[in-house]
Amino acid sequence: MNAIISASELASDLAGENPPVLLDIRWQLSTAKAAGEPPFDGRAEYAAGHIPGAVFVDLDADLAGAAGPGGRHPLPDVERFGAVMRAAGVSADRPVVVYDGGQGWAAARAWWLLRWTGHPEVRVLDGGLAAWTGELESGEVTAPVAGTFTPVPESVGRVDADGAAALARSGLLLDARAAERYRGDVEPIDRVGGHIPGAVSAPTTENVAADGRFLPADELAARFKSLGASGTSEVGVYCGSGVSGAHQVLALAVAGVPATLYVGSWSEWSSDPERPVATGPDPQ
């Protein structure tokens, strides 16, 4: 099953016999507080207009635990995550489509969590809400019929800090952040700039076209091959806090390359002054 779905395919599926559950994950990483601006309000954006039938899910509250030593967006409590998904109408025998405002990062985080906890059929709307040409509805959607999804975390699909360090040595560890943060030129959020020694810079923004849609699968496969994804070694991804990294894992899935996610990512790694930090354009 393809990990992404086009807007036209979604419209067709919504009119079918077993329409997907739609989850709206409007979110963005914001520096508004530092700039003295009001923070981004995903729920307000959702209420102003969303794909008919979509249910809003809050990334910070529902798809992550409290920020702390485990990073800015650690894994959520699995039981609570399951309850949120059931309240949104999610069941294992019904497909799910997730979307956000267009960047794709937040939707990819929801996609990764659902896949990691055992849902068999989850896709991301390619290009997000910006790609949708159908009607929108406003206000809060009527509470859907509760679903039956019970999350069962898998033993594969993610790594911790030690696992990420091991991947950087023996496999391929991709850093999905902007190149300037990888090099350590700037660090607007976390304690220190730089990257995990041995990690390869691979900004996830380079996986999409100007309209926010993913590049064709063959182009993505060629890109990841040029970065060292040989098909024989394990591939891992990290970012700032496990959100844009999920988008990179999604891009790898589109390219046919399985990958694991270091959920704590740089926000966890850099919080411990004992962990090594590399700077500059080279992995080491």
What is the model's pLDDT at position 135?
Answer: 94
Query: Band of the pLDDT at 37, cuts 50, 70, 90?
Result: low
Q: What is the pLDDT of residue 70?
A: 94
Confidence grade of residue 114 (pLDDT, cut at 50, 70, 90): very high
Q: Specify the pLDDT at position 97.
A: 98
Domain assignment present for residue 265? The answer is: yes
CATH number reported for the structural domain that contains residue 35 in this entry = 3.40.250.10
- Of the ranges 33-42, 149-158, 165-174, which is most confident? 165-174
Can you tell me the mean pLDDT for 107-117?
98
In a domain, 18, yes or no: yes
The pLDDT assigned to 30 comes to: 61
- Model confidence at 260: pLDDT above 80: yes
Q: Are residues 108 and 182 in the same domain?
A: no
Give the count of beta carbons closer than 10 Å to the beta carbon of residue 23: 27
Quick one: 10 and 76 in the same domain? yes
230 alpha-carbon distance from chain centroid: 23
Q: Are 236 and 228 contacting, i.e. CB atoms less than 8 angstroms apart? A: no
Say if residue 81 is in the same domain as residue 182: no
Report the percentage of the chain scoring pLDDT > 90: 88
Residue type, 89: G
Number of domains in the chain: 2
Q: What does the block give as tokens for 166?
A: 């091991």
* Res 141: pLDDT: 77
> Domain of 68?
4-131
Position 27 scores a pLDDT of 93
18 torsion bin: left (phi>0), alpha (psi -120 to 50), beta (else): beta
Alpha helices per DSSP H over 53-135: 59-62, 78-87, 105-116
Task: State the DSSP string of 230-258.
Answer: -SSS-EEEE-SSSSHHHHHHHHHHHTT--
Task: Decide if 183 is inside a domain.
Answer: yes
For residue 126, pLDDT beyond 60:
yes
pLDDT at 36: 59
What is the arithmetic mean of pLDDT over 58-83?
Answer: 96
* Same-domain status, 120 and 51: yes
Q: Which residues contact 63 (CB under 8 A, 6 or more apart)?
A: 25, 57, 73, 76, 81, 106, 109, 110, 113
Buried b / exposed e over 55-92, threshold 16 CB at 10 Å, is: bbbbbeebbbbeeeebbbbbbbeeeebbebbbebbbbb
- Domain shared by 53 and 119, yes or no: yes
- The set of catalytic residues is 239
* pLDDT confidence of residue 32: 40
Q: What is the mean pLDDT of the chain?
A: 94
| pLDDT score of 34 | 45
217 and 254: one domain? yes
CA distance 213 to 132: 12
Whether residue 250 lies inside any domain: the answer is yes
Question: Does 142 score more than 80 pLDDT?
Answer: no
The answer as to whether 140 is a domain residue is no
Q: Stretch 9-20: mean pLDDT, rounded?
A: 96
| Residue matched to tokens 């300037």 | 180
**What is the mean predicted confidence (pLDDT) over 82-102?**
97
Quick check: 244 and 172 in contact, CB under 8 A? Answer: no
Same domain, 127 and 8: yes
Averaged over 6-30, what is the pLDDT? Answer: 93
Q: Are residues 16 and 127 in the same domain?
A: yes
Examine the pLDDT at 133 and tell me if it is beyond 80. Answer: yes
Residue 174 has φ and ψ, to the nearest 5°, of -100, 135
The two structure tokens encoding residue 175 = 């850093």
Boundary residue ending a domain (116, 131, 146): 131
Question: What DSSP designation does 129 have?
Answer: G
In a domain, 146, yes or no: no
Q: Does 177 lie in the same domain as 114? A: no
Q: Do 163 and 208 lie in a common domain?
A: yes
Tokens of 4: 């992404």
12 plus 66 within the same structural domain: yes
Average pLDDT over residues 206-219: 96
In a domain, 284, yes or no: no
The residues that bridge with 201 in the sheet, in sequence order, are: 175
Q: Is the predicted pLDDT of residue 31 greater than 70, yes or no?
A: no
pLDDT band at residue 155, thresholds of 50, 70 and 90? confident
Check whether residue 105 and residue 162 sit in a common domain.
no
